[in-house]
Chain A
Amino acid sequence: MSAAVRTERLRKEFPMGWFRGRVLALEGLDMEVKRGEVFGLLGPNGSGKSTAMKMILGLLRPTSGKAEVCGFRAGTIAARRQIGFLPENPYFPNFLSGTELVRYYGRLSGMGGAVLEKRIQELMELVRLGGEAGKRPLRTYSKGMLQRVGLAGAMVGDPEILMLDEPTAGVDPAGSREIRDLILELRGRGKTVIFSSHLLEQVEDVADRVIILHRGQKLREGRLEDLLTRKKEWEVNVQGLKEEDRKELRGWLEKRGVQVVREGAPRERLEDYFLRSLPEEKRK
């Protein structure tokens, strides 16, 4: 079976006007995303993540190189049928309500009738915008709600691949936790998810594999486990260790020639602390 997405030496230069030369946004990217994988495109702002995604969708023309989606040339109708896209900081026609937006996108994907209505219902429930919330105009939505309705819109045609550009940027911790859960849920259903992020810590727990971009170039690629595990170190977290035992433990380690790199009470990430502080029923 063909890969979900494959690019070969994908390159994009933007002309900057007549005398100002060109900006090199992406420099010969080779990338292969397997089916059913959660794949992260990481890198700081301006590193070429969005450019790569837009070329995979056929919204931008590559300067050279090629991209394929499930074996179809990027930009063809067949290729686009396979992908649902959520752009970075998405803007939606704000005169529509949430449900109307998803319906519009469904029609653009060639759906209609009772099938579409049923699908809309399901999706709005899935992104927790069922009932009244779905009927409100989008201009009254919060950032997190917009992101969720955008996800519903991306999923309406039941595509194999979901491509999410910075899905958690500007969303609060609880909201971004929700989006992460949704990504995992999608993987559970056998979908391929490609997402980008410049906030590196947000992706640790979801991505199977990542590519790290910097100024249009690929810096690193691989499984997160392999990239992030400090293979030479070992960590034990314990509870109830007394002051005198600590001293003894240090002595014991020193005797064996083990170097202590760091020790102390571990600190929780503020994000987790915040989520833990919420009352039980608000956490989910």
Chain B
Amino acid sequence: MMGSLRRITAVAGNTFLEAVRQKVFAVLLVFALVLIYGANYFTEFSFQEQFKFLKDLGYASISLTGLLVGLLGASQLIPGEIERRTILTALCRPLRRWEFIAGKYLGLATLLAVMVAIMAIAVGGVLGWKEAQLIAREGSDPAVAAAIQKEARDPRLLQAVLLVEMKLAVVAAVAVFFSTIATSTTFVMAMTLMVYLIGHLESVAREQWLESGEVASWVAKAFLAVVAFLVPDFNLYNLIDEIIAGNAVSWRSTLEVTGYSAVYIAVLLTAASVLFEGRDI
């Protein structure tokens, strides 16, 4: 057990180190530029609108950056190692295949978590800066100042950060799953992206099909059930949009979605390990 843990952390550490040395964190600079540019935009609008815009922008750029790093990273993880043949010198050691998968995933998930945390802190910083700027300009009335502060320091944003982390963690697990059957990095990226899109459309399609009553045959139902089982429902993470829109979202539903994500990740990684076990390297 201790041995397993040591080997998994060795693989994870190496994966993380690779990302650092390949200067993956440099994309954060682009992110920062977008944010700073965005912060000085729309200054003629009301403070509510400005905050809403900043939060939207922050969320969109965190998502996009995370998705990009997750997709590229995951496709490099296993197919990349097979293509470069570095995997031979790892898997010939007293290391189980599932330990390798777990380590790779852990490394990538840690990378994503660290990046999201950094980006979230940056967004928090920009919100604080905006707050100071707005209070200096319009905050002579204590009531307005309080309202501005409330917008800028919304504690629900923490829930949003957690949800983004989970969403990206699921995407990474999907990518790792495809990695174990893929022969090329392109295949992994294409398949993962497809699952991501289907995952967004799935529940919409379900409502449309079933409630319109047109295609409610058992075939359609069975098909939807299979898709729903295989593809994670990414619409669950729309809670983030609710939070940004300023609507109340309970911690309870946040944790439910987190739990759902964890289960999905566990299932995907288990399936990945099983598929990888018998594969010729």
Contacts and interface: CB of A to CB of B under 8 A. Distances in A.
Contacts of B280: 14, 59-61
B114 interface: no
Contacts of A141: none
Interface in B1-43: 3, 6-7, 10-11, 14, 17-18, 21-22
Contacts of A41: none
B93 interface: yes
Given A104-B10, A110-B3, A90 B89 contact: yes
Nearest to B95: A108
Interface in A80-105: 80-81, 83, 85-87, 89-93, 95-96, 104-105
B96 to A, nearest CB: 7
B92 A80 contact: yes
A70 B190 CA distance: 44
Interface in B121-166: none
Interface stretch (B63-71, B80-88, B240-248): B80-88
A90 B85 CA distance: 7
A105 B90 CA distance: 7
Contacts of A48: none
Nearest to B2: A110
B204 interface: no
B35 to A, nearest CB: 29
Nearest to A165: B88
A112 B281 CA distance: 27
A83 B92 contact: yes
Nearest to B84: A91
A150 interface: yes
A109 B93 contact: yes
B213 interface: no
A80 B88 CA distance: 13
Interface centre among A83, A109, A153 (most CB of B within 10 A): A109
A59 B281 contact: yes
Contacts of B84: 91
Interface in A40-93: 54, 57, 59-61, 77, 80-81, 83, 85-87, 89-93
Contacts of A105: 89-90, 93
A150 B85 CA distance: 13
B177 to A, nearest CB: 21
Given A59-B88, A85-B89, A95 B281 contact: no
A60 B93 contact: no
A144 interface: no
Nearest to A112: B6
B216 interface: no
B89 A87 contact: yes
26 contacts: A14-B280, A57-B92, A59-B88, A59-B92, A59-B281, A60-B280, A60-B281, A77-B94, A85-B92, A87-B89, A87-B92, A90-B88, A95-B17, A95-B18, A95-B22, A104-B10, A104-B14, A105-B90, A107-B10, A108-B7, A108-B90, A108-B94, A109-B95, A110-B3, A110-B6, A157-B93
Given A90-B85, A91-B85, A108-B95, 5 more contacts: A59-B280, A77-B94, A93-B18, A108-B11, A110-B7
Interface of A: 14, 54, 57, 59-61, 77, 80-81, 83, 85-87, 89-93, 95-96, 104-105, 107-110, 112, 150, 153, 157
